[in-house]
C-alpha cells in the first residue's frame, strides 16, 4: 500500500521536475555571448600586438628613431683644378650657411618668416627659397642664407627653439686664387637652375654649383663628385643634440691642366692694358701652356651672385671682358695666312718655291686695282722672298691661279676655320670662305673675293687658338690638337705624348720651304719682323707678321701718299698679329698674338711675341716637373 502511494506521488511530481528554469537559460546564453566577445577582443588585441611587435616592429622602430634622428645628404666637395705642377687654380673654402628641413617643421612659411626677422632675406633670396620649396622633396634641405658671419650664426642658435627645422651647416664655396689671371680658362660656377636640377637630383643639395664657363663647365660632371650623408640626434623641437654618423661624399675628380701658372702671369704682364690675346703651345703635342685674353673679370663674383651694376659694366664694355678672345674672338688673319696659301699653291703643282712673280706695287684685275702694302713694289721675287717681304701681289697672283677651294682645303688641314677639340665651351670655328659657301648665302663669288682671301682678308676669319695650332702644325708637320686637360687625378693622358699625333699629309720639302721663309721674316736683312729677333745665345725664331684691316681704305686715299692707319680712331685701326715658333732647328713652342686695333703687326705684335717666346724658352715649362723659379724670366725686356 505504502509502495503504491509513493509511486502515485512520484508520477504527480514528475512533470514539475522535468520543466526547465527560464532564468537559468537566459543566464547561460549571456555568459556564452560574453565569453565569445571577450575571446574575439583578446584575439584582435593579440593580432594587433603581433602586427605591431612582430610584423611591423622594424617599421615602427624606424619611425620612432626618426623622431630623434635626422638624416640629410651632404653635397660632395667639388674637384680641384690645378696647373701642370699641381698649383691650385680652383679650390674650395669652408663657409657657414643656414638650412631648413621642410619635413621637420609643420609651418614652413612661419619658420621662414621668423628667420627673416633674425637674418634679413631680400627679395631674391625669398624668390629662390620659394622656387626650391616648390620643386624639391621635403627631406631635401633648402638653403636660407649663405656666407653667414659669426654674429649671424650666434643669433640663429640663440633663437633655435622658435626655428624648428632650421640648422647651421658648414659648406664650401668655390675660390679662385688667381682671380682674373685664369678666369677665361677656369671659368666660374653658379647655383643650379630648375633645368639643371631636373637633369640631376644631386644638384638639389644645398651648396651644389654648376660650371657655367671654361673648364668648370666642360668638365662639370667629373668635378661634381658623389653625395655623402649625416645622421644627427635632435630633441623634440628639432635642435641638433649630437652627430651620430657621417659618411663623407666622394670629392670630384681633380683636373690637371697643361697651363703653367707662372708663364700665364708673365704673358699677362707683357700684354699689360692692351686689348689682346695670346696663346703659347707645346707645338709637339698641342699642350696649351698659356692662354691670355684681356681684359678679364673676377670669376669669384659669380658664386655669390653678380650685382646688376657689375653686369651692366661688363656687357657695355667695348673691350668685352667676359669673352675669351683666344677661342671666341674671330679676326682676319692678314698676312699670317700667307704660308697656308703658299702650301696650297705648292701642293697644286702650279707653283714651285723657285717660281718668280713680278710685283710693281699693285695687281690690276678686271678694272680693280689690288694694292701691295709697299707702294713701290718688290720686283721679281720667289716664295722665300715673298714670305720674307710679305709681298701682297705675290699671294694675290697665287690665289688667283689656284682658286679658293684649294686654299680652303689646305687651311683646314692646318686647323684654320675648323672646330678644334679643346676642352672649352663657346669656341668658334672662324671661316675659310669658298664659292659654295657664298652661293649658299645667295651671293655671287667673284675673282676679287679669291684675290683678297690670298692675303687673309675679305671673309677669312680665324681665332688666336687656331693661329697657334696652325703654327704648331707647320713647325712640326704633325696634326696636333690643342688641349688643356693634361691629367685626371694626377694620371697623365696619352695626348701628352708627341707620337700620339699623326703626321700631316704634306710633303716635308714644302714645309721646309715655308719654315725657311718664316725664318727670313725675323732673322734676315729686310725681313718684316726684325723686332721679333731673339737675343738668347744660339736660339733663333721663325715667324710671320700680319695686319688685318677692319675697314676698307679707298684707292684715292692709298695713292695720296698721306694715309697712315695709326692716325685713325682706335676702333678703325687694323688688328696687329704675329705667329712664331722656336727654336727654329728643333721646334718646341709656338706663339700667336693678336692685338685688337694694334695697327701694325711688325711694330706691335712682333715685339710682344718675342718677349713671350723669350719667357717661355727661359722657363722651358715642358721640361720641368716642378715650377721653374720665377726669376728665370726676369731677363726682361730683351731687344
Among 257, 286, 305, give the residue marking a domain's end. Answer: 257
Give DSSP secondary structure letters for 492-559. Answer: E-GGGSGGGSPBPSS-HHHHHHHHHHHHHHHHSTT-S-GGG---STT---EEEEEEE-SS---HHHHH
Residues 178 and 229 in one domain: yes
The pLDDT, as a whole number, for residue 564 is 61
Give SS3 for 566: helix
| Structural domain of 354 | 261-619
351: cell is 707653283
Q: Closest Cα to residue 455, out of 391, 510, 507?
A: 391
Averaged pLDDT of the chain: 86
Q: Express each pLDDT in 537-587 by its tens digit.
A: 999 999 999 998 876 655 555 555 555 666 677 678 889 999 999 999 999
Which of 399-408, 438-447, 554-563 is predicted least confidently? 554-563
β-sheet bridge partners, residue 91: 175
pLDDT at residue 518 greater than cutoff 70: yes
The pLDDT, as a whole number, for residue 61 is 65
pLDDT at residue 635 greater than cutoff 60: no
Q: Closest Cα to residue 472, out of 385, 413, 426, 548?
A: 413
Residues 489 and 351 in one domain: yes
Is 42 a member of any domain?
no
Residues 345 and 219 in one domain: no
Is 228 a member of any domain?
yes
The pLDDT, as a whole number, for residue 639 is 32
Domain holding 135: CATH number? 3.90.1310.10
Which of 58-62, 132-136, 492-496 is predicted least confidently? 58-62
Distance CA 306, CA 298 (A): 10
Give DSSP secondary structure letters for 321-367. Answer: TTS-HHHH--B--GGGGHHHHHHHHHHHTS--TT--EEESSEEEETT
Average pLDDT for 427-438: 96
β-sheet bridge partners, residue 361: none
Residues 166 and 291 in one domain: no
User: According to DSSP H, which parts of 167-300 are helical?
Assistant: 183-186, 194-199, 214-218, 220-224, 261-271
Q: Which of the residue ranges 159-173, 323-337, 623-637 has the most confident prediction, judged by mean pLDDT?
A: 323-337
Q: Closest Cα to residue 67, out of 229, 237, 228, 230?
A: 237
Give DSSP secondary structure letters for 383-438. Answer: HHHHHHHT-HHHHHHHHHHH-HHHHHHHHHHTTTTS----S-SS----B---HHHH
Is 566 a member of any domain?
yes
Q: Can the peptide bond before residue 274 be classed as cis, meaning omega within 30 degrees of 0? A: no
> Are 540 and 523 within 8 A, CB to CB?
yes
The residue behind cell 674650395 is 92
Residues 417 and 480 in one domain: yes
pLDDT at residue 629 greater than cutoff 80: no
> Are 380 and 343 within 8 A, CB to CB?
no
Is 11 a member of any domain?
no
491: cell is 694620371
Residues 170 and 299 in one domain: no
Distance CA 267, CA 464 (A): 14
Residues 463 and 580 in one domain: yes
Q: Please calculate the CA angle 540-285-184 and round it to the nearest 5 degrees.
A: 95
Task: Look at 620 and 162; give whichever has higher pLDDT.
Answer: 620
pLDDT at residue 57 greater than cutoff 80: no
Task: Look at 586 and 55; give whichever has higher pLDDT.
Answer: 586
How far from chain centre, in Å, is Cα 591?
23
Cα-atom radius of gyration of the chain, to the nearest Å? 40
Residue partners of 596: CB distance under 8 A and separation at least 6: 274, 275, 276, 319, 325, 329, 331, 575
The pLDDT, as a whole number, for residue 497 is 83
Q: How many Cβ atoms sit within 10 Å of the Cβ of residue 626?
A: 7
499: cell is 707620337
Task: Look at 38 and 386; give whichever has higher pLDDT.
Answer: 386
Residues 246 and 270 in one domain: no
β-sheet bridge partners, residue 380: 358
Which of 131-145, 187-201, 215-229 is predicted least confidently? 131-145
Q: Express each pLDDT in 296-318 by its tens digit.
A: 988 888 766 677 788 888 888 88
The pLDDT, as a whole number, for residue 48 is 75
Is 301 a member of any domain?
yes
pLDDT at residue 633 greater than cutoff 50: no
Q: Express each pLDDT in 256-265 by its tens digit.
A: 999 999 999 9
Distance CA 227, CA 255 (A): 19
The pLDDT, as a whole number, for residue 637 is 39
Is 67 a member of any domain?
no
Residue partners of 261: CB distance under 8 A and separation at least 6: 83, 85, 87, 89, 178, 181, 182, 627
Pairing of strands 228-234, 210-211: unpaired
Is 89 a member of any domain?
yes
Check: pTM over 0.75? Answer yes or no: yes
Pairing of strands 589-595, 379-381: unpaired
Residues 253 and 288 in one domain: no
Residues 285 and 243 in one domain: no
> Are 521 and 527 within 8 A, CB to CB?
yes
pLDDT at residue 509 greater than cutoff 70: yes
Give the pLDDT band of residue 634 (cuts 50, 70, 90): very low
Phi, psi of 249 (to 5 degrees): -70, 155
Q: Please calculate the CA angle 489-493-494 and round it to the nearest 5 degrees.
A: 165
Distance CA 227, CA 603 (A): 55
For the chain, give the percent of residues with pLDDT over 90. 52
Domain holding 551: CATH number? 3.40.710.10
pLDDT at residue 636 greater than cutoff 80: no
β-sheet bridge partners, residue 594: 277, 577
Find the distance separating the first CA and the last CA of the chain, reported in whole Å: 168
pLDDT at residue 451 greater than cutoff 80: yes
> Are 475 and 540 within 8 A, CB to CB?
no
Phi, psi of 592 (to 5 degrees): -125, 140
Among 228, 257, 286, give the residue marking a domain's end. Answer: 257
pLDDT at residue 46 greater than cutoff 80: no
Distance CA 224, CA 212 (A): 13
β-sheet bridge partners, residue 487: 256, 492
pLDDT at residue 71 greater than cutoff 80: no
Q: Closest Cα to residue 392, out of 612, 563, 545?
A: 545
pLDDT at residue 17 greater than cutoff 70: no
pLDDT at residue 45 greater than cutoff 90: no
Domain count, the chain: 2
pLDDT at residue 240 greater than cutoff 60: no
> Are 600 and 592 within 8 A, CB to CB?
no
Which residues are tagged catalytic?
335
Give SS3 for 278: strand
β-sheet bridge partners, residue 579: 544, 592
Q: What letters, b where the CB count within 10 A reaches 16 and e where it falls short, cover 526-537?
A: ebbbebbbbeee
pLDDT at residue 105 greater than cutoff 60: yes
Q: Can the peptide bond before residue 420 be classed as cis, meaning omega within 30 degrees of 0? A: no
Is 343 a member of any domain?
yes
Q: Please calculate the CA angle 210-213-216 and round it to the nearest 5 degrees.
A: 55
Angle between helical axes of 338-348 and 508-523 (0-180°, round to 10) = 150
Residues 288 and 375 in one domain: yes
Distance CA 602, CA 583 (A): 20
Residues 240 and 308 in one domain: no
> Are 635 and 610 within 8 A, CB to CB?
no
Distance CA 157, CA 179 (A): 35
> Are 186 and 214 within 8 A, CB to CB?
yes
Amino acid at each position: 500500500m505504502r509502495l503504491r502511494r509513493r509511486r502515485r506521488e512520484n508520477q504527480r511530481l514528475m512533470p514539475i521536475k522535468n520543466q526547465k528554469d527560464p532564468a537559468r537559460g537566459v543566464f547561460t546564453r549571456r555568459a556564452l555571448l560574453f565569453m565569445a566577445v571577450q575571446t574575439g577582443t583578446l584575439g584582435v588585441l593579440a593580432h594587433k600586438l603581433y602586427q605591431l611587435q612582430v610584423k611591423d616592429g622594424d617599421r615602427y622602430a624606424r619611425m620612432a628613431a626618426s623622431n630623434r634622428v635626422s638624416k640629410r645628404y651632404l653635397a660632395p666637395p667639388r674637384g680641384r683644378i690645378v696647373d701642370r705642377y699641381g698649383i691650385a687654380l680652383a679650390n674650395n673654402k669652408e663657409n657657414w650657411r643656414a638650412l631648413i628641413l621642410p619635413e621637420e617643421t609643420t609651418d614652413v612659411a612661419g619658420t621662414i618668416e621668423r628667420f627673416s626677422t633674425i637674418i634679413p632675406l631680400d627679395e631674391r633670396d625669398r624668390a629662390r627659397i620659394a622656387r626650391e620649396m616648390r620643386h624639391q622633396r621635403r627631406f631635401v634641405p633648402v638653403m636660407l642664407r649663405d656666407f653667414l658671419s659669426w654674429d649671424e650664426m650666434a643669433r640663429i642658435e640663440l633663437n633655435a627653439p622658435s626655428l624648428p627645422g632650421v640648422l647651421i651647416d658648414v659648406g664650401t664655396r668655390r675660390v679662385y686664387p688667381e682671380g682674373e689671371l685664369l678666369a677665361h680658362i677656369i671659368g666660374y660656377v653658379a647655383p643650379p637652375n630648375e633645368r639643371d636640377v631636373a637633369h640631376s637630383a644631386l644638384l638639389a643639395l644645398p651648396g651644389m654649383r654648376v660650371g657655367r664657363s671654361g673648364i668648370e663647365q666642360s668638365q662639370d660632371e667629373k668635378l661634381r663628385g658623389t653625395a655623402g650623408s649625416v645622421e644627427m640626434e635632435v630633441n623634440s623641437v628639432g635642435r641638433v643634440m649630437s652627430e651620430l654618423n657621417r659618411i663623407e661624399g666622394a670629392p670630384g675628380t681633380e683636373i690637371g691642366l697643361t697651363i703653367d701658372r707662372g708663364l700665364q702671369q708673365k704673358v699677362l704682364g707683357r700684354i699689360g692694358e692692351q686689348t689682346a690675346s695670346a696663346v703659347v703651345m707645346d707645338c709637339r703635342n698641342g699642350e696649351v701652356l698659356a692662354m691670355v685674353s684681356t681684359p678679364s673679370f673676377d670669376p669669384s663674383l659669380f658664386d655669390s651672385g653678380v650685382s646688376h651694376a657689375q653686369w651692366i659694366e661688363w656687357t657695355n664694355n667695348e673691350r668685352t671682358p667676359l669673352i675669351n678672345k683666344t677661342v671666341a674672338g674671330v679676326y682676319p688673319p692678314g698676312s699670317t695666312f700667307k704660308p697656308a696659301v703658299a702650301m696650297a699653291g705648292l701642293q697644286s703643282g702650279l707653283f714651285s718655291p723657285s717660281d718668280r712673280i713680278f710685283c710693281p706695287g699693285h695687281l690690276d684685275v678686271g678694272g680693280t686695282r689690288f694694292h701691295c702694302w709697299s707702294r713701290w713694289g718688290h720686283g721679281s721675287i720667289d716664295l722665300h722672298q715673298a714670305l720674307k717681304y710679305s709681298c701682297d701681289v705675290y699671294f694675290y697672283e697665287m690665289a688667283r691661279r689656284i682658286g679658293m677651294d684649294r686654299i680652303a682645303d689646305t687651311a683646314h688641314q692646318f686647323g684654320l676655320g675648323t672646330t678644334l677639340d679643346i676642352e672649352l665651351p663657346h669656341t668658334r670655328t672662324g671661316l675659310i670662305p669658298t664659292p659654295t659657301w657664298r652661293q649658299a648665302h645667295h651671293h655671287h663669288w667673284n675673282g676679287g673675293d679669291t684675290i683678297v682671301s690670298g692675303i687673309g682678308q675679305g671673309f677669312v676669319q680665324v681665332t688666336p687658338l687656331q693661329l697657334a695650332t696652325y703654327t704648331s702644325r707647320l713647325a712640326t708637320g704633325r696634326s696636333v690638337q690643342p688641349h688643356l686637360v693634361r691629367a685626371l687625378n694626377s694620371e697623365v693622358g696619352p695626348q701628352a705624348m708627341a707620337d700620339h699625333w699623326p703626321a700631316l699629309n704634306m710633303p716635308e720639302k714644302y714645309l721646309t720651304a715655308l719654315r725657311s721663309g718664316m725664318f727670313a721674316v725675323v732673322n734676315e736683312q729686310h725681313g718684316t719682323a726684325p723686332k721679333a729677333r731673339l737675343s738668347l745665345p744660339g736660339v733663333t725664331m721663325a715667324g710671320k707678321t700680319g695686319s688685318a684691316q677692319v675697314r676698307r681704305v679707298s684707292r684715292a686715299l692709298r695713292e695720296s701718299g698721306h694715309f697712315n692707319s695709326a692716325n685713325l680712331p682706335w676702333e678703325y685701326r687694323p688688328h696687329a698679329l704675329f705667329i712664331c715658333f722656336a727654336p727654329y732647328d728643333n721646334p718646341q713652342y709656338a706663339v700667336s698674338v693678336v692685338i685688337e686695333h694694334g695697327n701694325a703687326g711688325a711694330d706691335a705684335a712682333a715685339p710682344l711675341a718675342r718677349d713671350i717666346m723669350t719667357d717661355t724658352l727661359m722657363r722651358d715649362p715642358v721640361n720641368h716637373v716642378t715650377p721653374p723659379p720665377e726669376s728665370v724670366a726676369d731677363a726682361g725686356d730683351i731687344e
